[in-house]
Amino acid sequence: MHARRRLKLSRACAAVLTAALALGCQLAAAQDPNAVQQGTAFAKTVAPTSASQVVNPTGVNANAWGTNTATPTAVESGLGGFSTPDTSTTPYSQAQVLGLSGYGNQAVFNCANFVAGPGANPLQVQSCAAVNFLTNNCLSPTAFQQQIITANGGSHGVSGNCDGTYGQAQAAFGFVGQVNWSDSVFSVMTGLPAAVPGETAQTCSEQVVVLKPAQYEQDTCIKNSVSSSYTCTQTMTATVNTTTQPPGYSKSCDAGLGGMGEQNGTLRNGYKGPYCEYDTGQYQTDQGYATACADLYAFPDQTLVYENYYYECPEGGCVAESWCYYSPAITCPAGYTLEGTQCVLKTVTKTFSDDCGPYTQSAGITLPNP
């Protein structure tokens, strides 16, 4: 049992302390402005001018500071584990693969099997002591706590590798169980019901606190649900509307090159429709035959549909004449496509129907169209 002492500050001591504080405030308020200015100027002369300086080398004694005015670029020796920090990327790579929760679970597993014996890394000893404390691997429940755990069908095991941890000391000396409800530290509270009425003219009564584990029971419930089945059909009807119109022509016949204007009719090869006729007229040829139309005319917007030739070779040279027939380029309005000799536009009209009224009323939702 430890003796308890209470220190009381006498009124005389309090008065002396108050006077000392007041004197300190007066001294602080009575500083010489010149001294403050000189101190500020001195601080500015030694302040570093860049991140690579600890102090300004021009404002300090070079003999005293030497080369120590620059910011250190290497870790000082003699600091134990802090002088040789772990710069390996292995922990970071493992964390990327395992994820944050997986990395934490791995630490719990490693520390549960770590033995903090002689020669062990002190940093690892401290790290695993913290992990085992947070995961309750080295904490033993009290008798009351064990009753609650057992009553709820649970269990709690304590790791055997707990050297140097708080849990080891708790289990060895029984820290948790030393103070219970009957300890004298609570005697002041137990005497309050008798003392309070005389001071406050109020009546107090003791209340019993249940320290046993909570009692519970299991109930099995059966819930029946009544459902209705609905069957319905959705129907979509599609109607294709076709509109036709005669095609147009991108360009009329070329007036030059022997063109004879636009014509419409049936040619000897069976072509029927509009065409442009071009007559070369008679021309001299030494080859004994007429020149083909493809060698005479090149129309990017017209198509050769028929050609006719004439040539003869009387005495004195050969004479030839060519008749070339081209169809002008056919065009259709926007949205139309050429099908045969007509421009065609097709549109689709959709209609929907269903018999799902009872289902939508029961479910409270509307079915979308298919």
* Highest mean pLDDT: which range of 76-90, 91-105, 133-147, 249-263: 91-105
pLDDT tens sequence across 195-240: 777 666 677 677 777 777 777 788 888 888 878 788 888 888 989 9
Please report, rounded to a whole number, the percentage of residues in the chain having pLDDT higher than 70: 83
| Per-residue pLDDT at 60 exceeds 80 | yes
Token representation of residue 29: 């308020």
Token representation of residue 271: 């072509």
pLDDT tens sequence across 291-316: 888 888 887 778 888 988 888 887 77
* Highest mean pLDDT: which range of 16-20, 201-205, 320-324: 320-324
| Per-residue pLDDT at 83 exceeds 50 | yes
CA separation (Å) from 227 to 81, 223, 233, 357, 363? Answer: 71, 13, 20, 17, 11
| Per-residue pLDDT at 259 exceeds 80 | no
The overall average pLDDT reported for the chain is 78
Q: How far is 84 from 355, CA to CA, in rounded Å?
A: 80
What's the average model confidence in pLDDT over 149-154?
Answer: 83
Residue whose entry in the numeric block shows the structure tokens 């035959």: 289
The DSSP code for 173 is: H
pLDDT score at 23: 39
- Residue 44's nearest CA partner among 63, 68, 60 is 60
pLDDT score at 345: 92
Integer-rounded Cα Rg, in Å, for the chain is 54
Nearest-10 Cα torsion for 301, 303, 308, 314: 50
Q: How far is 347 from 238, CA to CA, in rounded Å?
A: 10
Predicted TM-score of the model (pTM): 0.29
